[in-house]
Amino acid sequence: MVQALTKQSALDLFEQITAFSVNDSTPGITRLAYSKEDEQAHKLMIEKMQQMGLQVRQDMMGNIFARLPGKNPELPAIGTGSHIDSVPQGGAYDGVIGVIAGLYAISQFKPQQLKRSLELVIFRAEESSRFGFACMASKVMAGQADFDKWAKNTDSEGNNIFQVLDNCGYQSQKLDECRLPANYFDGFIETHIEQGKVLEHQHKRIGVVNGIAAPCRYRVEVHGHADHSGATPMSQRHDALVASAAIITDINTAACYESAYGTVGTVGRLDVTPNAINVIPGDVTFYVDIRGVDKASVNRVVAKFLSSVEHAKAAQDVVIHVSELANDMPVLMKDEIVQRLERICQEHSVPYVTMMSGAGHDTMYMAQDFPAGMLFIPSKEGVSHHPDEYSEFEDVILAAEILKQAMGELADA
């Protein structure tokens, strides 16, 4: 027997997860991948799901799988899930509501009630905040991880993902065992907050996602020469920050030009050395995020960015190294699942819209191997990755009910 989540127990569990955050004076939720707070939240979920009567396991990366067995457990399962790590000073809803909705949906059925098993996946390290790479767990599951790149990129304490995994008691040398077999899932549906304003502006309660934009990401290291800001003539400078600013401006201009295709470009992190008011910046490292659903448009912005790098080298007489962190393809959802989710919304008179996702999600990589879909719920004022991130819990439960019906139908198909 499996104990079903109710609306109230689902809300209680959401609030318990929310409590795991860095305990300091900063606002919002800070639960970085594999931090103490993240580990505590995952431990809570394991204990909760075991108490509910689900079959729970962890793989070598610490991903959690909670299964409700079907009548024919040898058949590919129907999956759902999301993540519970956060960005620094982020919101409480990003990722977490997909875990809550998935657990709610699965728990409404009894063991062996459906032909296929149902399974909830809690993915690790979805956010790129700690290691510079997004969706790390789902990339491993889909065989899309670049371990060589991962080894070269570190967190703020100088540790790469493999060192952190080992320190947490997982087994980084066995990550290949996390690869999911080709017949593991017969369908996968993730629930997530929209992280935008489309649903709110159109007065819709559900977004049925038919495609996901993919990011191209780069680390740019600019090496000039630090000199006295007063004693160094303008003609004799090798200013790493001026070179960086020119590149950043060109990225913004190129992305604006391509905005009709939905392409965006962002530089959200910039480290300046020596970072003093009276010293010409000698070294700058910044990170570029270019993404969209039209790969040709994304590639044009990337080309402009790389051209700007070459121009800045000459103009400022600096050395620039560009490292590619990600170059992902936009992903389309399975038509059959999209149409099923649309039909369920229509059957229950739920106001919905079919839409693309501008943000990346673990479903991008699940969709490499399995039929996949996504459900969005509205984000108040489109705010996400911010302490003010908020969604109505009524919408979480609504999405969970739609997810429940979809998973049940797929499991008995």
Q: Which helix (H) or strand (E) holds 394?
A: helix 393-412
**Residue 223, marked binder:** no
**Residue 42, marked binder:** no
φ/ψ region of 265 (left if φ > 0, alpha if ψ in -120 to 50, else beta) reads beta
Burial profile 209-244: b = 16 or more Cβ within 10 angstroms, e = fewer? bbbbbbbbbbbbbbbbbbbeeeebeeeebbbbbbbb
How far is Cα 265 from Cα 263, in angstroms, rounded to an integer? 7
Q: Which residues contact 386 (CB under 8 A, 6 or more apart)?
A: 28, 89, 90, 91
How far is Cα 396 from Cα 11, in angstroms, rounded to an integer? 9
**Residue 278, marked binder:** yes
CB contact at 8 A, 365 and 144: yes
φ/ψ region of 153 (left if φ > 0, alpha if ψ in -120 to 50, else beta) reads beta
How far is Cα 409 from Cα 406, in angstroms, rounded to an integer? 5
Structure tokens of 261?
């295709």
> For 65, phi and psi rounded to 5 degrees?
-125, 120
Helix axes 7-18, 393-412, angle to 10 degrees: 110
**Residue 238, marked binder:** no
CB contact at 8 A, 380 and 361: no
**Residue 166, marked binder:** no
Dump the DSSP string for 251-299.
HHHHHHHTGGGT-EEEEEEEEEES--TTB---EEEEEEEEEES-HHHHH
CB contact at 8 A, 393 and 399: no
**Residue 201, marked binder:** no
- 3-class SS at 332? strand
The annotated binding site is made up of 83, 94, 127, 192, 217, 278, 291, 385
Q: Which residues are annotated as a binding site for allantoate?
A: 217, 278, 291
Which segments are annotated as binding site for Zn(2+)? Answer: 83, 94, 127, 192, 385
